[in-house]
Amino acid sequence: MNLIRTIAGIIVLLMFAGTSYGQTSAELKKQRERITQEINLLNQSLKATSNSKTLTLRQVNALNTQITLRERKISTISSETRLIDRQIQENTQEIKKLEDQLEKLKKDYASMIRFAFRNKNGYNKMMFIFASKDFNQAFKRVKYLQQFSESRKNQAQEIEKTQKTIQNKIAELAANRKEKVDLLNEQQEERNTLNAQKADKSKVVNSFASQEKEYKAEITKKQQEASRLERAIQAAIRKEIEEEQRRAAEAARVLAELEAAKEAARAKAAGEPAKPVAVAKPAASTSASSVLSATPEAARLSNEFMGNRGSLPWPVAQGTITQGFGQHTYGAGVKMENNGLNIRTNNGAAVRAVFDGEVRSVVQMMGAGYAVIIRHGKYFSVYSNLKSVSVTRGQKVTSKQTIGTAATDPDEGTTEVHFEIWEGSAPINPTPWLARF
């Protein structure tokens, strides 16, 4: 029976090991599929702009992003193959253990069969029982014969079960090997495509010399748009700070009036002159963040927003980042600063709020659609390059609520949303705040 329990324990362990691997493998597979979707999205937009003789910044960003995504996909496939190699090794070892256990079970079963054959006639069994010294011993011998028969049946069932487990493991091993071959083929295809795209990128880099003037003009235009957006954001935040300061001053004045009324009532009852009550001034705040999170409601919303760092939904349901936060260099001396993320998405895609909050500004940008600014306590999320807007100033919004639709460039046919996060009066990198697909 100890042997039977050992076999059962091995089977249970194999089941749990398979589950753990399945979860890890599923995550990697989902990541690979997500990267493939992003690559396909960029392919569609690049095909739509491939006839243009002059490369634009968006096309250059798309090419760079494609190369990065393919490198990530190749790395993901490498991780998947390493997991498969490990499972192949584990399954091979487990099959060997099960075969050894099966051999032991068969030997034990053969011994039972030989014993049963030697005592197969009823006469020998009856003599074995009647040879007992007393009734108790005879009863025990009857039970022993019954248990022996039951044990033989159980042993046969365990042999059959172990054989099936071995067959299943062998089939799983074959599937693992086939999956590995398929992944390696896909990885090689990705490497070939990557090499071709790197060659295309080299041509693009060489074209910067001849098109540097055009790129600088386009970057100047983009920087002007970014400056207009930044001024609009700063103005909205200043307005919020001023309103918070006015509310604090008003609250202090009301409190002072109440204190003065109390003092007047006390003095009248005591027949004394009332003492002057000083109006308490709101504490001077050294930062915009402290002013914006001064009230309990704002502090709570700020903490909730901060608590969701790394798990905020994306501002679009499907998209890929074509330009990240920070400074970017194109060619020799052609630089551009980005306060947020440029996210390529599908035509007509819905743009949604990343967290609960209140719309504090809806701005129509000159030549760049609309921008929406939503406040989350001391944090602000900004959504620009919107074709249309479905919210108004002062409106409460919830996480993933649609606030507008993404605008499509009429010349290129590409659709990009610009997204920013501000803490107080300073922009911060949104990438660590968004959930990973």
Q: Quick: pLDDT tens for 315-328.
A: 999 888 888 888 87
Q: Are strands 379-389 and 319-323 parallel, antiparallel or unpaired?
A: unpaired
Q: Rounded CA gap, 28 and 130, in Å?
A: 69
pLDDT of 218 reads 67
- Give me 208's structure tokens: 């910067």
Which segments of the chain have a pLDDT < 70? Answer: 1-24, 35, 38-39, 41-57, 108-109, 112-135, 137-156, 201-216, 218-219, 248-249, 251-252, 254-257, 259-260, 263-264, 266-268, 274-287, 330-334, 367-368, 437
pLDDT of 350 reads 96
Start and end residues for every CATH 2.70.70.10 domain found in the chain: 307-433
pLDDT of 389 reads 96
Q: Kindly report the length of the chain.
A: 437
Q: Rounded CA gap, 5 and 363, in Å?
A: 71
What does the CA dihedral 77, 82, 86, 92 come to, rounded to 10 degrees? 70
Q: CA nearest 359: which of 374, 371, 380?
A: 374
pLDDT of 180 reads 83
Does this model's pTM top 0.75? My answer is no
pLDDT of 18 reads 41
- What is the maximal distance between C-alpha atoms in the chain? 124
Q: Domain 307-433: give its CATH architecture.
A: Distorted Sandwich (2.70)
pLDDT of 14 reads 37
Handedness of CA 282, 288, 293, 298 (dihedral sign): positive
Q: Exposed, middle or buried, 94 (CB in 10 Å: 0-12/13-18/19+)?
A: buried
